[in-house]
Amino acid sequence: MNQKQGLLVAGRYRLADSIGSGGMGRVWRAHDEVLHRMVAVKELTAALYASDGDRAVLLARTRAEARAAARINHSAVVTVHDVLEHDGRPWIVMELVEGDSLADVVKERGRVEPVEAAWIGLWVLRALRAAHAAGVLHRDVKPGNVLLGKDRRVLLTDFGIAQIEGDSTITRTGEVVGSVDYLAPERVRGHDPGPASDLWALGATLYTAVEGRSPFRRTSPLSTMQAIVEEDTDEPRHAGPLAPVITALLCKDPAGRPGFEEAERMLAEAAEGRTPRTAREFPPARGAGGHTPGTADPGHAPAGYAAGGTLPGGYPAGGTLPGGMAGANGSGTGTGPTAVGPVPSGPAGIPAPARPRRRLRTLALVVALAAVLGAGGAVAVQKWSTGTGNGGGANGGPGTPSASASGSATPGTDGTIPASWRRYDDEWGFGLYLPKGWSRKVVGVPGDLRQVDYTPDGGEHFVRIAIDTSPDFKDAYSHQLDLDGQLSRRLADYQRVRLEKNVYRDLGGSVWEYTWTALAKDSAFPGPRRAAEETYISRDGTEYVIYISSPAADWDRTSKQFKAVLQGWQEPR
């Protein structure tokens, strides 16, 4: 039982059960003991891990979320009942909606029928129209923030990064916030968002609904943003009468997108199964600025990115926690109340998307074998496993190599981060704390899987971060269990120390620890070794592995470092 179950918040709201969680917070089903009704209560857990400066921004955004949603009076917007302070953090009390998110439905079915998607889009459009009339830009429209109630209501939720007209206090100069897949081209370029930006996001959301994938997602946030600005979308194959609406909403030029009245008419016609009678020919979502699709402007990254820098924004790129409820790990989703059942489905027999072919190697296996071979052999393992040669070589990053790990500060047994450690903001968007002087080396970027090491001594001791946007397993424990079996046959003297499910940052994860003997013929650092890794799947379906390895003799210090690394880890933002 969670220690907060039964807690009385603000002397009024009795927490019942956790119905959703993510990197930013947790949503509880709660009982309002004054009005005797069930509500959803959103707790900002991210503030517990943030720096003082980031915590202030998070608190400001939480209050702004409540203010923004409260300004909108529409049946398609989740109602905010109250915002209160408890335990030094703001909590939002809102309408409890039982149902699924659109992301959940897409993940379960593979895709949504065009007529149903048009009907959903029509209600989202009406919610946006009401929001814009109240001076509120949503800025994070995506499938995970579209709720499909058991009573067939469609609601737009999560105004956590909404911008209220005339209020610029919750964003910082050059900051881009929102889910990368659904950012409009003008926002990627650093221009101020407007109502047309929310309409672009609606178009991308509808594309995801009918095709089962987001239109511009690539292998990294940076390449996704470049595709949004420069590349054509693939023509939707399953959109039916919704196709011209999607094309119109995904016009690269915001001035070329339809207005609310025209978009509403087009969606209403598509919801009736009729191809919309467009008032004018909308240009397709072509690349802008004279670039050849698929190429970048030489020497320039999209606005809001420093060259080789981190993904900007105060919220995770994969999505923020929907208020009231949201779904599971869909296309850039958050999480929320347990699903009670999807909206009535379309015609039966919609095929699920094909399961990707199992890769020759799985993520943690490369992690382990690279440790066996040593830093110099990591690239060779990657090439052998994938048949590609694009994964190796140093890729200079934060820090410089140090002579050895012996000078590293040792964390306390509770995993606290030593004051002498520094924060490394990796160019792939994530952040972590390590001793000063650790160097960075990419050990594989074969598409969906990316891996990077941080080491003080050329690989004898190292931390590896692996990011897989298309994991082979539905949960971390199953993945590690499979790899455990593989390594038991491959590594000399392999012994499992532990392999067990756990909860990491309010998400289901798994921790795995093992020992083996690295052989001189395979490794630059032969002898007994030990490793541990935390694996979890984020709200947007990305699998993260945080791995550490060292000689077994150094494990007392290394295990403490592992706890501190886990304490300071931050997903790409």
Q: What CATH number corresponds to the domain at position 123?
A: 1.10.510.10
35 lies in the same domain as 164: no
Task: Please work out, in degrees rounded to the nearest 5, the angle formed at the alpha carbon of residue 207 by the alpha carbons of 206 and 213.
Answer: 120
Average pLDDT over residues 315-341: 28
Q: Is residue 24's pLDDT more than 50?
A: yes
Q: Is the pLDDT of residue 238 over 70?
A: yes
Mean per-residue pLDDT of the chain: 74
Would you say 525 and 531 are in contact if contact means Cβ atoms under 8 Å apart?
no
Q: What is the pLDDT of residues 456-491, one digit of tens each?
A: 998 999 999 999 888 888 889 999 998 898 888 888
Q: Residue 304: inside a domain, yes or no?
A: no
CB 482 within 8 A of CB 535: no
Rounded mean pLDDT of 428-452? 84
3-state secondary structure of 405: coil
Q: CATH code at 406?
A: 3.40.1000.10
| Residue of 35, 105, 180 whose CA lies nearest to 188 | 180
Q: For residue 216, what are its two tokens?
A: 């511009």
- Does residue 42 carry a pLDDT above 60? yes
- Yes or no: say if 127 and 120 are a contact pair by the CB < 8 Å rule: no
Tokens of 398: 């934060």
Tens digits of per-residue pLDDT, 492-547? 999 999 999 999 988 889 999 999 999 887 788 899 999 999 999 998 889 999 99
For position 21, what pLDDT does the model report? Answer: 66
Whether residue 549 has pLDDT greater than 80: yes
In terms of domains, do 241 and 116 share one? yes
The CATH number linked to 87 is 3.30.200.20
Note whether 14 and 163 are same-domain residues: no
Say whether both 265 and 391 belong to one domain.
Answer: no
- pLDDT (0 to 100) of residue 506: 82
Closest by CA to 274, choosing from 247, 243, 233, 235, is 243
Radius of gyration of the CA atoms of the chain, in A: 24
**Domain annotation covers residue 305:** no
Choose one of 94, 115, 150: the last residue of a domain.
94
| Over residues 28-45, mean pLDDT | 90
Name the domain boundary from 44, 77, 94: 94
Percent above pLDDT 90 for the chain = 39
- pLDDT class for 444, splitting at 50, 70, 90? low
Active site annotation includes 17: no
pLDDT at 356: 36
Assign 98 a pLDDT band (cuts: 50, 70, 90): confident
Pairwise CA distance, residues 501 & 504, whole Å? 10
Quote the percentage of the chain above a pLDDT of 70. 68
Inside any domain, residue 289: no
Instruction: Compute the distance between CA of residue 555 and CA of residue 331 in angstroms, rounded to an integer.
Output: 39
Say if 479 falls within a structural domain.
Answer: yes
Q: Would you state the pLDDT for residue 388?
A: 28
Instruction: Look at residue 355 in the predicted model and tell me its pLDDT.
Output: 35
Domain-located, residue 561? yes
- Same structural domain for residues 457 and 515? yes
236 and 162, same structural domain? yes
Q: pLDDT-derived band of residue 201, with 50, 70 and 90 as boundaries?
A: very high
| 155 domain-assigned | yes
Q: Do 487 and 368 lie in a common domain?
A: yes
Give whole-number Cα distances, 89 to 46, 68, 164, 484, in Å.
10, 18, 22, 41
Query: Amino acid letter at 25?
Result: G
299 vs 534: CA distance, rounded Å: 37
Mean pLDDT of the 73-102 span = 86
Question: For 403-420, how does the pLDDT look when each residue is reduced to its tens digit (9 = 90+)?
Answer: 233 334 556 555 578 889
Residues 529 and 382 occupy one common structural domain: yes
Instruction: Look up the domain containing 207 and give its range.
Output: 99-271
In this prediction, residue 53 carries a pLDDT of 65
Q: Which of 254, 271, 288 finishes a domain? A: 271
Confidence of residue 46 (pLDDT cuts 50, 70, 90): low
Mean pLDDT check: name the lowest of 163-177, 183-197, 278-292.
278-292
Q: What does pTM read for this prediction? A: 0.50
Residue 394 sits in the same domain as residue 424: yes
Segment among 23-27, 106-110, 137-141, 448-452 with least mean pLDDT? 23-27
Q: What band does 2 get if pLDDT is binned at 50, 70 and 90?
A: low
Catalytic residue among 100, 104, 140, 453: 140
Domain match, 12 and 60 both: yes
Residue 128 and residue 70 share a domain: no
**335-354 tens-digit pLDDT:** 232 222 223 333 223 233 33
Q: Do both 69 and 194 map to the same domain?
A: no
Number of domains composing the chain: 3
pLDDT at 278: 61
Residue 386 lies in a domain: yes
The alpha carbon torsion through 382, 386, 390, 391 (nearest 10 deg) reads -30
What is the pLDDT at residue 83?
82
Q: Would 292 be classed as within a structural domain?
A: no
